[in-house]
Structure 1
Amino acid sequence: MAHPVRNPAQRSGGRFPVNALGTAGAVGLALLLSGCSYVSDELWPSLAGEDPAAPPTVSQPIPASAAESNPQPTLSPPLMGSTNFVVPGVTPGQATGTYVGQKVQQMRGELGQLQQAVTQRNQQLQGIRTTATQNSQRYHGLVAAVSTRLQMGTTPGNPILLSQWNAAQVDLDKMAADVAQLSNLGNQVASDSAMSTYLLQAIKSTYSLSGAIDEDHRQLAVLEDETAKTVVLIDRLLGELSQDVARQSNYIGSERTNLTALSAAIKQGELLGPALGTRAAYYAGNQQYAAAAAAPVATDGRTPLVVIRFDRADVPYQQALYNAVSQALARKPNAMFDVVAVAAGGSQAQTASNQNQARRNADRVLRSLADMGLPASRVNVTAGSNAQLAANEVQVFVR
């Protein structure tokens, strides 16, 4: 049932519109989706721009890295900070009866209030971390259950999986609420940080006041040390909060994209894989893998990454499209994609009808890519025609 892979210009006798295909290089993998016809693995040499019918060239095999060997990279939730921030305390002092002594007592009270506020912030932080961990565990348990069921195979739109997906969405929203609480707590700690810095400067300025005795300066020195330690503690607390908020925010954004892809998989009744945008970020972050895998990408021709032939009402192209785009992103993490609606020939009326239908098919493929998590900014949609085609096609190019 396999069909030979040919260049689009060859199928149309070289009359395919150049502006519909562009001139940038493309990955030389083509999948012909008509019924169950796919390209065999024997055509992989076209990745190097070679003629698939030509004798294979001698190449030196490179062992796959650990990341390359994993077809479904898993992005684990980022770890939150675990520090328990304990204030150093305030050493009590005896009144000296001087004006400077009164200032020392006043500032000692202000430091005590500040440390009490920091203790409350720390308690809030530990509580949010506990809640966030519980929400994350529930979320990942639900996603794992849905993914396992899809991997085993199930009916399209399974209501049990839909219910689990909705519960996962609720838990993800709770995780987002946890991040919002961390952000608000960070704002409060920032105010504490400004207060601690002001208090430390005030203590240092008190040394220059006249009318002090040696005991006043001794107590000032103790108070200065404890305030400086409090400043350092608050700065560490603020830094850890900022890191937690940034990591969790980025992670939740990625998981929202993955949930969208999981929703599309539930509709299909089969597991496609992680969101394409997440996979692209994964491969881009793994520089060793990206550099090794990007080498085979061809840049000297326009060969379709995927050709979807809409010769019947329901063409099951989603899984093959996902696999092809995923492989292209593995080789070129910053790849862009062109979706071309190619209308078949016929009479003038048939050609007009085919053009409308081809555009609808391209929109359908575009929605599928969005459901798979590919950002819309990476996709460009154009249209063309080929009088020699018997059925409308949607061709996907990578650049």
Structure 2
Amino acid sequence: MVFNLTRPIALSAVLFVASCSFVDETLLPPLTGDPAPAKAEKTELSAEDKAAMGVDQAASQPAAAPAPAVTAPAGRFTLPDVTSAPSTGTVVGQRVETLRENLRALQARVNQNSAQFEEMEASTTATSQRYHGTMAAINARLQIGTTKGNPILIGQWNEAQGDLEEIAADVSRMNNLANSVAGDAGEVGFLLESVQSAFELSGAIEEDHRQLTVLEDETSRTSVLTNRLLSQLTNDINRQTAYVGTERMNLTNTSIAIKNGGFLGTSAGTRNYLETAKADTATGERQALVIIRFDREDVAYEQALYDAVSQAMQERPQANFDIVSIAPLQGNLANNQATSVRNAERVLRSLTDMGMPASRVNLSSTSNANVASNEVHVYVR
């Protein structure tokens, strides 16, 4: 009887291969040459084993990554807490406690004002960045030219004006805050004098003087920081006030450019207007700020007018202006006078477009034989 030996051999081979799937692959080195990772459940001890071995179960757990500590950033002018100390029971000790409480109340106000100042600075910075971003978009469009009175640019200009007024409001709030800080600076100076004079009181013990020394140091530090905050506020107010004034003039100039569809530029003609104004003798004693000669159809006078009026307003913020139309005597006098008046009204509209209140401008007209064409003279009053 012949037995088929190949069948058991094949069956055992299958069993051998199948058994390989039950072998923990982590016990075999990987083919990459790196050490095999160990399984946590194979090496972790049970709670009873840990207790028997004296191993702390909480310490054996894998340490979690520590959460980053979230602490509020200390402001530049934030004061630390006032040092506490036990009462000595003496009369001087009671005086020290009163002075310490006064310092705590004062520092609380200084810290609050400091936080408000930091908030205002952050708000002004964000608004200023947004303002300059909008102005850059307007200027980029005006640089390549656009349609006159482009409504998109007008909308952007209104946004920029709103941002600038918001900065001006921040400056106003800084003024109010500076007044409060100035009061705190005066109070901390008086408190420092009170602490120093407490050293001369009788009935003190050594602990009283030790506490007074600490209190004096902390009051001095409060005085330095309060005055530093006041100085920073004053500098920011002056800088932001000048900044807002300059940018308001830039907004006015940009408004004119949007109205004309592009920047006017300072041309040679503009310089001639200003130079001629110094030599004006057509109307007698007064010297004109700007002379505009309407000797052609389209006279680009706006930039010269804006430059001259802006400079005059910087020198005399409360100045008023006279616009005088001068008609030549040659030719048709009635027609010349009518045209000259229309030119003066056009100049008045330009000034009001620049933001000049109409109540600060006076219109008048005259004729003169020394002029060859219709002219408009602008005077400072």
TM over 0.5: yes
Partner deviation per Cα, 1:215-255 (whole Å, 9 max, x = no partner): 21121122112101211210111121122112212321232
Describe the shift of the 1:125–1:392 C-alpha distance in structure 2 as closer, same or farther (beyond 3 A).
same
1:123 is aligned to 2:105: no
Larger RCO, structure (CA 8 Å, separation 6 or more): 1
Q: What is the alpha-carbon distance in structure 2 between the residues aligned to residue 92 and residue 203 of structure 1? A: 16
Q: Which residue of 2 aligns with 1:112?
A: 104
Aligned residue identity for 2:77: F
Q: What is the alpha-carbon distance in structure 1 between the residues aligned to residue 111 and residue 304 of structure 2? A: 54
Shift of 1:98: 0.7
Aligned residue identity for 1:139: Y
- Contact conserved, 2:291 with 2:375, CA < 8 A, in 1? no
1:200 is aligned to 2:192: yes
Q: 1:385 aligns with which of 356, 367, 371?
A: 367
Partner deviation per Cα, 1:345-386 (whole Å, 9 max, x = no partner): 468xx5245324313312322443564578999999764424
Q: 1:317 aligns with which of 296, 300, 319?
A: 300
Shift of 1:272: 3.1
Describe the shift of the 1:388–1:110 C-alpha distance in structure 2 as closer, same or farther (beyond 3 A).
closer
Shift of 1:391: 5.4
Gaps of 5+ in 1: 1-82, 275-295
Aligned residue identity for 2:147: T
- Contact conserved, 1:200 with 1:227, CA < 8 A, in 2? yes
Q: What is the alpha-carbon distance in structure 1 between the residues aligned to residue 341 and residue 360 of structure 2? A: 19
- Contact conserved, 1:306 with 1:321, CA < 8 A, in 2? no
Q: What is the alpha-carbon distance in structure 2 between the residues aligned to residue 320 and residue 167 of structure 1? A: 24
Aligned residue identity for 2:343: N
Q: Which residue of 1 aligns with 2:46?
A: none
Shift of 1:181: 2.1
TM-score, normalised via structure 1 length: 0.61
- Contact conserved, 1:261 with 1:373, CA < 8 A, in 2? no
Describe the shift of the 1:199–1:257 C-alpha distance in structure 2 as closer, same or farther (beyond 3 A).
same
Describe the shift of the 1:320–1:166 C-alpha distance in structure 2 as closer, same or farther (beyond 3 A).
closer
Q: Which residue of 2 aligns with 1:368?
A: 350
Indicate the SS of the match to 1:243.
helix
Report matched runs for 1:17-166 at 5 Å.
84-166=76-158
Report matched runs for 1:127-276 at 5 Å.
127-272=119-264
Partner deviation per Cα, 1:10-38 (whole Å, 9 max, x = no partner): xxxxxxxxxxxxxxxxxxxxxxxxxxxxx
Q: Which residue of 1 aligns with 2:293?
A: 308
Describe the shift of the 1:128–1:297 C-alpha distance in structure 2 as closer, same or farther (beyond 3 A).
same
Q: What is the alpha-carbon distance in structure 1 between the residues aligned to residue 280 and residue 164 of structure 2? A: 44
TM-score, normalised via structure 2 length: 0.63
Query: How many residues are paired up?
Result: 288
Q: What is the alpha-carbon distance in structure 2 between the residues aligned to residue 109 and residue 300 of structure 1? A: 71
Describe the shift of the 1:395–1:115 C-alpha distance in structure 2 as closer, same or farther (beyond 3 A).
closer
Q: What is the alpha-carbon distance in structure 1 between the residues aligned to residue 371 and residue 227 of structure 2? A: 67
- Contact conserved, 2:327 with 2:340, CA < 8 A, in 1? yes
Q: What is the alpha-carbon distance in structure 2 between the residues aligned to residue 117 and residue 268 of structure 1? A: 52
Indicate the SS of the match to 1:94.
coil
Q: 2:341 aligns with which of 352, 359, 372?
A: 359
Indicate the SS of the match to 1:97.
coil
Q: What is the alpha-carbon distance in structure 1 between the residues aligned to residue 375 and residue 357 of structure 2? A: 23
The root-mean-square deviation of aligned C-alpha atoms, in Å, is: 3.9
Describe the shift of the 1:182–1:323 C-alpha distance in structure 2 as closer, same or farther (beyond 3 A).
closer
Q: What is the alpha-carbon distance in structure 1 between the residues aligned to residue 199 and residue 131 of structure 2? A: 56
Q: Which residue of 1 aligns with 2:47?
A: none
Describe the shift of the 1:97–1:141 C-alpha distance in structure 2 as closer, same or farther (beyond 3 A).
same
Aligned residue identity for 1:318: Y
Q: What is the alpha-carbon distance in structure 1 between the residues aligned to residue 303 and residue 86 of structure 2? A: 79
Greater CA drift, 154-163 or 300-309: 300-309
Larger radius of gyration: 2
Indicate the SS of the match to 2:376.
strand
Gaps of 5+ in 2: 1-74, 267-274, 283-287
Aligned residue identity for 1:229: R
- Contact conserved, 1:322 with 1:372, CA < 8 A, in 2? no
Q: Which residue of 2 aligns with 1:18?
A: none
1:343 is aligned to 2:327: yes
- Contact conserved, 2:277 with 2:291, CA < 8 A, in 1? no
Shift of 1:309: 2.1
Q: What is the alpha-carbon distance in structure 1 between the residues aligned to residue 129 and residue 143 of structure 2? A: 21
Q: What is the alpha-carbon distance in structure 1 between the residues aligned to residue 357 and residue 238 of structure 2? A: 21
